[in-house]
Amino acid sequence: MDGVFIGLIAGLVALLTLATVTGQILAARARGADSIATMDNLNKRIRSWWLMVAILAIAMFFGRTVTLVFFALTSFYCLREFISLTPTRPADHRALAAAFYVFLPLQYILIGIDWQTLFSIAIPVYAFLALPVLSVLAHETDGFLERSAKVQWALMLTVYCISHAPALLILDIPGFEGRTVLLMFFLLFVTQASDVLQYVFGKLFGRHRIAPIVSPNKTWEGFLGGGLCATLLGAALFWITPFTPLQAAGMALAIVLAGFCGGLVLSAVKRSMGAKDWGSMISGHGGALDRMDSVSYAAPLFFHLVNYYFVP
């Protein structure tokens, strides 16, 4: 499995190298303000991908504990970005403290000790019930429902949903023991490839916008072209999964569709707050949540599809 994983990382390095060279050539040939701005944005994204792939490869190579720490930190930064952008009050501080310092680490600890039952319900049941109780102790009722929903939804998206990516490591698939890290690679690769390819197809061929007010850059041409290519890439990676080529294509398509919905929904949240990005943590990509918005929707769906069809 180590050899397969190293080979996949080597393939990503080769792909990024090709993208870097191509981006530099296209940037040198760009004419006009729009073309120059597009190529500058694309090259920033490519440079950022070098860093993100390196961090993720190190985490995944050193095993479950390091991977869980990496995703826990990712959830922490995503949760911080969500809370920073959406207004809260001092009355919410107890609930926020519990979200950051109780339920976030608890979620990843439960994955680490392989307690799948509690992992599945700790946040959607117990955190959902507990957080409003902590807020109501401040005796402030103005906007109580709105405030509680913001904290609950933030925790669900940035911690519960994203944690389903490393939770793939605890699935017990017959004949696939010790290789579930490849399922996580499959999920992340298809999700991010879909995002990148939809961006490229949209810039090259985009004419018809899907939701111009919510996300002006998302077009039907970008969605269909990028989504189809990402689905085909997922089908081509069937050999690292327990899936047949057709099953891999179906799983990849589910990831693409869910990821698109995640990006669109979280774009609507950003727009409602008057913001373009969730943050500026990653040059060319915005904040951490700008990169994980697709994963937040795709990871739970992929996890449960795999768990339902491939785990006895």
- Average pLDDT over all residues of the chain: 89
Element spanning 219, H or E? strand 215-219
Asked if residue 94 has pLDDT above 60, the reply is yes
% of the chain exceeding 70 in pLDDT? 97
pLDDT digits 0-9 by tens, 262-278: 999 998 988 888 777 77
Mean pLDDT over residues 53-57, rounded? Answer: 79
Residue 280 has a pLDDT of: 63
Confidence class for position 1, pLDDT limits 50, 70, 90: low
Confidence class for position 106, pLDDT limits 50, 70, 90: very high
Distance separating alpha carbons of residues 243 and 222, to the nearest angstrom: 27
Of 295, 244, 228, 307, the closest CA to residue 56 belongs to 295
Q: Which of 87-91, 120-124, 132-136, 191-195 has the lowest mean pLDDT?
A: 87-91
Distance separating alpha carbons of residues 127 and 144, to the nearest angstrom: 16
Tokens of 36: 């120059």
CA distances 270 to 56, 143, 292, Å, are 26, 20, 14
pLDDT digits 0-9 by tens, 278-290: 766 655 556 888 8
Distance separating alpha carbons of residues 167 and 302, to the nearest angstrom: 11
Mean pLDDT over residues 196-200, rounded? Answer: 86
Confidence class for position 3, pLDDT limits 50, 70, 90: confident
In terms of average pLDDT, the best of 96-110, 138-152, 196-210, 258-272 is 96-110
Residue 170 has a pLDDT of: 93
Asked if residue 52 has pLDDT above 80, the reply is no
| Residue 131 · residue 147 · CB < 8 Å | no
Distance separating alpha carbons of residues 71 and 184, to the nearest angstrom: 12
